[in-house]
Amino acid sequence: MTNLKEEFRSWLINQGLPSKGKTGKNSTVYDYLRYIDKAIKLLYEGSDWEVLVEEFPYVWLFYLLNGKNKYKQNTASFEEISQFLNKNAHINIKNDLMQDFKIYKAKEQSYIQKLNNINENRKTGAAVSKFYRFLLETRNLSSHKFDDYIELANRLVECCIQINNITVISETANSPKQIKTKNSVLKDVSLTEFAQFLECSVQNALRLIKTEKINRTVSDINNYLHKHYHPSTKRKSDDLNILSAEWYTIEKACEILHCSKTTIKRLMKDGYIGYTDYTPRKIKLLAEDVNALIGLDIRKNHIE
């Protein structure tokens, strides 16, 4: 609709964007209008700007996700992403936003095929961003705020990082977790991914890389995970699945066994409690090993 296009043109100018370029070059306003015109033609074979109103937020999600390589490398379906979110409640996405994403996923391949100019997509994405800000100010476009979809895109990328580089846990408690990539091309792990695997901050992960001289390859990180996993040598049963295991801090173990940190550390050293020390300040103790000592005489040389 021409009126909507002209309203957007006026809004851009009121925002301080130049309506005329220097030395005869096209202005920013002109470029934004041209990019959106072309996207509408490619997507819908028409020139009606109202279609972008009807298609919000799906077109917006395409441009948000299009520039994120970690998302583009993923091949996970909506169902796989949903299942991952159900198992990882810390990545919180509102249900209604997930419904928008579900509809987007059904359209995604069509968008990718029609909007296949990567360099131009970056520029069109900036134009679409401005257009939706204009709509949010001038129309009752959505119950969601503009930034909600930016946050949704960031959460989806976080999911895809973890789905693409899944952590495979051995079936028994005598083996550490290991990383296996679904995409055989991906041999290196990002700093963010490394921090997620170690369950520490990015700053701590960077410090470990420097002090331990770790290359961020899958094999190097797996070697590190193996080196810093210490299974119990006293456990009678070896059928514990680490994937679903519970872990305690040293302080929590002290509280449960009514003893000092020195005693807990001795039990760890003597092989009664399995633990990980991926990061020195976040040592985790296997809850099953700690619980197995409840009611026993844990003084030195007294455990039966």
Which string of DSSP letters, residue by residue, matches 210-269? HHHT---BHHHHHHHHHHTEE--SS-S-----GGG--EE-HHHHHHHHT--HHHHHHHHH
Residue 144 has a pLDDT of 65
- Output the pTM of the full model: 0.53
Angle at 212 between CA 209 and CA 214, to 5 degrees: 50
Q: Contact, 182 vs 163, CB < 8 A?
A: yes
> φ, ψ for residue 217 (rounded to 5)?
-100, 160
Residue 73 has a pLDDT of 59
What pLDDT tens digit does each residue of the chain (304 aa) get?
458 999 999 999 998 888 776 655 678 899 999 999 999 999 998 888 988 888 888 888 898 887 666 566 566 788 878 887 887 766 788 888 999 999 999 999 899 889 888 778 888 888 988 998 898 888 766 656 778 888 888 888 877 766 665 554 444 555 666 666 655 444 567 777 677 777 778 888 888 888 888 877 778 888 888 888 888 888 766 666 665 678 899 999 999 999 999 999 999 999 999 998 888 778 989 998 999 899 888 887 666 6
